[in-house]
Amino acid sequence: MEEAQRELFQRHRLRLVKELHVEPLWPLMLDRELFTRDMIEDIQSAGTRRDQARRLITDLQTRGKQAFPIFISCLEDTDQWDLAALLREGNTTQQLETVDIEPVEMNRSEGASGTNEKIPTSKKEEQKEQGTSSLDVGEGAVGPPQAKGGKNLGMVGQVYPLTSDPCGYCLIINNVDFSAASGLSVRTGSNIDCEKMQKRFQALHFAVEVECNLTAKAMGTTLQHLAQRDHSALDCCVVIILSHGRQSSHIQFPGAICGTDGASISVEKIVNFFSGSRCPSLGGKPKLFFIQACGGDQKDHGFQVCFNTLEDNFFGSDLEPDATPFQINFDQPDAVANLPTPSDILVSYSTFPGFVSWRDKKSGSWYIETLDRVLEEWAATEDLLSILLMVSNAVSTKGTFKQIPGCFNFLRKRFFFKTK
């Protein structure tokens, strides 16, 4: 398939996933040798109609030169005229060739293009012919990204496919002004963090939404509404929370986030809104949480090292912690038994549990400022875990007091942001 035709599929992906009727397409695509029976069964096993449509659109882009006109003919013969016209009119690379749509006996020595290119009988055989395997790239991935200078990164393990545009929703909760009764200070500098994250994740092809100054109850409601949306046509979901924080009892994920009323919601509860049972349309897809909040009220003075290359970016009187006192059993975990397996989840904390997280009034928090800078430089070539290691290293060298970000990683594959 021509590159322009692949781009056409990506441009109209959301509409195709929403409107495509896949069931009547299977016998036609089999008869016209667009896919083998094993390949069709593999696509059908993806799940719901939307999931099958997403998988079909991805796999179509790996077929031969005739795949595009054959698929349009299948759409027309199943009365999906609007979608056929959408693709036909958008194809500016060449005139669509007339396709022989007479059913023919399957010939394993001929591919979809009518050449002597063998059609693999299974996903494994297809990967073998292409010189890849399920250990090299994930489904829908186009291969390992190239490092600067064209150097291959030598990717090991599967990769989450990010083929939709936008990739997914990105919700930013920015709590700045707290009620007098809460006893919590104004988080001066947080709006700088919020603006940076909004621009950064828009550049990374996310649909960004910002909510400001929410109570603990409003935070829970907002996050629940996000989890209850239909994410079927999307590939990912990101939640960024900028607020005061405190320690909290937990089973899986430590910490709690303060609302503007001084009440809090546990990180564990936030993450579990997006579990497989509560948010099935994000099942198997990466769910990323970035939390700029204190994990407690301990201040880390650090320890002496035997080399003097550490950067010292102490900001003096403009430095503030995002800490609130630890309250025993202030928050109960969302569930004590039968917690859903937290697969495809990553929670990145600005600081180690129990310690404060520093924020400068003029330039924003250490963590968000560094995360934004590292994403700008490395998102195009490095996977998320490598990026977070860079962030941790950079933040750890700052200031008189010390801070070390960390994460709870339950991702099953490597994650690369979409930068083009």
The pLDDT of residue 38: 84
409/97 Cα distance (integer angstroms): 49
| Start-to-end CA span in the chain (Å) | 20
Residue numbers in the chain where pLDDT is lower than 50: 94-156, 295-317, 324-340
Range 168-410 classified under CATH 2.60.40.10: no
Helix (H) / strand (E) element for 43: namely helix 37-44
The pLDDT of residue 320: 59
392/366 Cα distance (integer angstroms): 10
Pairing of strands 168-174, 256-258: unpaired
197/174 Cα distance (integer angstroms): 11
Helix (H) / strand (E) element for 406: namely strand 406-410
Helix (H) / strand (E) element for 364: namely strand 364-365
Q: What is the pLDDT of residues 130-143, one digit of tens each?
A: 443 333 333 333 33
The owner of tokens 């293009």 is 113
311/396 Cα distance (integer angstroms): 9
233/54 Cα distance (integer angstroms): 7
The pLDDT of residue 321: 53
Strands laid side by side in the 358-360 sheet: 319-321, 358-360, 364-365
Instruction: State the CB neighbour count (10 A cutoff) for residue 307.
Output: 5
The pLDDT of residue 46: 80
The SS3 call for residue 174 is strand
Phi, psi values for residue 97, rounded to 5°: -75, 150
Residue 276 contacts residue 283 (beta carbons within 8 Å): yes
Residue 137 contacts residue 126 (beta carbons within 8 Å): no
Range 3-129 classified under CATH 1.10.533.10: yes
Joined tokens for residue 346: 């990553």
The pLDDT of residue 10: 84
Catalytic positions, written as ranges: 244, 294
The owner of tokens 């997280």 is 357
- Start-end ranges of CATH 3.40.50.1460 in the chain? 168-410
- Start-end ranges of CATH 1.10.533.10 in the chain? 3-129
